[in-house]
Amino acid sequence: MEIIIQPDVEAASRLAARFVARLIRDKSRAVLGFATGQTPLPLYEELCRMHREEKLDFDRITSFNLDEYVGLDPAHPGSYRTYMWTHLFGRINIDPGRVHIPDGLAPDIPLYCEKYEDEIRAAGGIDLQVLGIGTDGHIGFNEPSSSLVSRTRIKTLTVETRRDNARLFGGEKKVPHHVITMGLGTIMECRTCLLLAFGARKAEAVAQTVEGPVSAMVPASILQLHGRTIVIIDEEASSRLRRSEYYRYVYEHKPDWQKV
Ligand code: GLP
């Protein structure tokens, strides 16, 4: 893993946007994986700015989202479809035909999940997957005890995650219990993973992910076995890391050709 500690959310998000933009400029048919939640919002804002002001062209990219709530009207303010079209897709020149967000209303969920995996494969796999992290260490919606080799499937949310995500539902009780999420095995096949985490409330999950043992109890820790994962965090999210000085030192002494 490469751990990059930035002074604040803005600097971290700008750096993450440069990773995404570099891929799109190098590979016009790039396949991008997107995450939702509060964390990637400044990244999406910066990508929209790059599209507007620097002509960053999303015309030929394909996208896959990590997850979606089951049984939720896609037009609901809490749905991840609403989120993506509000914060990113509606503001860039992406081809709607190449956007993939799990369909939480699919009548046959296991069959639909297999199809989602097929679509990722048919697109050539995901080049870069943006990830946030839950306070319980989940990525996508792979809650603690998820199989480390899991594929896209239905999951039941923990009480903690339903509480964390209650904001757009007008109360915890209205947050759906079930979701469709890419599995940890699916995420591990993405060529690059870009994990973002900001704020003190993520510090423990970040420390366990980066420096703890690989464990299904901290699903994000499986990324220790991924060949190219970049973790971009702010100062607060880095506060529980034991080797933060080393990560800063590595970043400061990168050879020029490795810098973004
Ligand atoms: C949800 C999403 C995750 C996201 C997590 C953290 O559970 N399914 O993909 O990483 O929330 O959200 P936030 O960034 O709002 O803290």
Question: Model confidence at 256, in pLDDT bands (50, 70, 90)?
Answer: confident
Task: Tell me the chain's radius of gyration from C-alpha atoms.
Answer: 17
Section 129-143 average pLDDT: 96
- Residue 114 corresponds to which amino acid? E
- Residue-wise pLDDT for 193-206, tens only, equals 999 999 999 999 99
Q: Which amino acid is at 219?
A: P
Whether 235 and 202 have beta carbons less than 8 Å apart is answered as no
Q: What is the pLDDT of residues 73-106, one digit of tens each?
A: 999 999 999 999 999 999 999 999 999 999 999 9
Looking at residue 258, its pLDDT comes to 84
What is the CA(140)–ligand 1 centre distance, in A?
7
**Cβ(38) to ligand 1 under 6 A?**
yes
Distance from the alpha carbon of residue 134 to the mean position of ligand 1, in angstroms: 5
- What is the mean pLDDT of the segment spanning 169-182? 96
The residue nearest atom 5 of ligand 1, judged by CA position, is: 134
Q: How far apart are CA 235 and CA 12, in angstroms?
A: 10
Average pLDDT of 28-52? 97
Residues involved in catalysis: 67, 136, 138, 143
Q: If we measure between CA atoms, which residue out of 197, 200, 195, 196 comes closest to residue 236?
A: 200
Domains in the chain: ranges and CATH: 2-258 (3.40.50.1360)
Distances (CA, A) of 259 to 7, 18, 48, 104: 17, 11, 23, 39
Contact 134, 205 (CB under 8 A): yes
**Residue with CA nearest ligand 1 atom 6:** 134
The two three-digit tokens of residue 124, written as one number = 């050539």
What tens digit of pLDDT does each residue of 196-240 get?
999 999 999 999 999 999 999 999 999 999 999 999 999 999 999
pLDDT band (50, 70, 90) for residue 53: very high
Q: How much is the pLDDT for 173?
A: 94
Confidence of residue 168 (pLDDT cuts 50, 70, 90): confident
What residue's CA is closest to ligand 1, atom 1?
A: 37
Asked whether 65 lines ligand 1 (CB < 6 A), one says no
Portion of the chain with pLDDT greater than 90, in percent:
95
Size of the chain in residues: 260
67 CA → ligand 1 middle, Å: 10
> Which helix H or strand E contains 128, and what residues bound it?
strand 128-131
